[in-house]
Structure 1
Amino acid sequence: MTVKRVLIIDDEDDIREVAQTSLEIMGGWNVFTAASSHEGITMAEAEQPDAILLDVMLPDMDGPATFQKLQANPTTAQIPVILLTAKAQASDQRYFADLGVMAVLTKPFDPVTLADQVAEALAWNV
């Protein structure tokens, strides 16, 4: 079985670090990170991860716009995306789900269960 590769795109250093550590330890996955949408798109093209965890609120381009750019690019269109958001209102959740992302996980997340949540959303065995 090959080790899953996950890209985290989030502008908050502490969120990236906690999520990366959690997914590496609890999921056993290779995790790499990007601090901006543009950096994330470039890394997604180059690295071809098995999944992307994408923050909704980013300073250079928001998560939904970043997701649309990833979907429009034939090199990254097949990569499943999970949104990370602090916006927990039902209307926001419906909007995000309607985009076509695999799942929406709310912040703050539990580092102990994050890998299980990602695996469940993507139907991966942990």
Structure 2
Amino acid sequence: MAESLNRILYVDDEPDIRAIVELSLRHVGGFDVQMAESGARALEILDGWTPQLILLDAMMPGMDGPATLAAIRQRPSLAGVPIAFMTAKVQPSEVQRFKEIGAVGVIAKPFDPMSLPNTVRELWGGAGPT
């Protein structure tokens, strides 16, 4: 039987967006969600917890989403974890760039909190379980 998605790490510097995503994924979707306010904090969380999917904001101060993705990919134990961006940068050229650096997809901001869990499940299903 295929493993179902449960553990998600969400990384975003905006507290309001983190709160909405947490409510959506945890309470509507029933996921085990860890939240990080920066790429550096995400790396700390990943030292002791392995998610099945990582969602990154593209634009963050300090370590942005692409830099965070690159740092995660340097860890062999996380090489197979699908990573997607949640961002307002959704022009075709931007989406293509995210995919070229290893993202499995892009979820556009703003998003519908009630449908976000299904969007995440569909994205993860396309990436395949790790």
When normalised by structure 2's length, the TM-score is: 0.88
Q: How does 1:26-105 map to 2 (within 5 A)?
A: 26-105=28-107
Change in Cα spacing, 1:120 to 1:2, as seen in structure 2 (3 Å) is closer
Query: Which of 105, 117, 120 lines up with 1:118 in the alignment?
Result: 120
1 CA distance for matches of 2:101 and 2:115?
25
CA distance in 2 between partners of 1:119 and 1:2 (Å): 9
**Structure 1 residue 3: deviation in Å?**
6.8
**1:26-56 Cα shifts (integer Å, max 9, x gaps):** 2211111010100001112311111111110
Percent sequence identity is 38
The alpha-carbon distance between structure 1 residues 3 and 66, as it changes in their structure 2 partners (threshold 3 A), is closer
The aligned counterpart of 1:20 is 22
Partner amino acid for 2:89? Answer: K
Local SS of the residue matching 1:60: coil
Q: Deviations over 1:39-78 (max 9, x none)?
A: 0011123111111111101101111111011111113222
Counterpart secondary structure, 2:35: strand
**Letter of the structure 2 residue corresponding to residue 69 of structure 1:** A
* Aligned twin of 2:6: 4
Distance in 1, matches of 2:8 and 2:42, equals 11
SS in 1 for 2:117: helix
Number of residue pairs the alignment of both structures matches: 124
Say what the alpha-carbon RMSD is for the aligned residues.
1.6
Unaligned ranges ≥5, structure 2: none
Return the TM-score normalized by structure 1. 0.91
Q: Which runs of 5+ in 1 are unaligned?
A: none
Moved over 3 A (4+): none
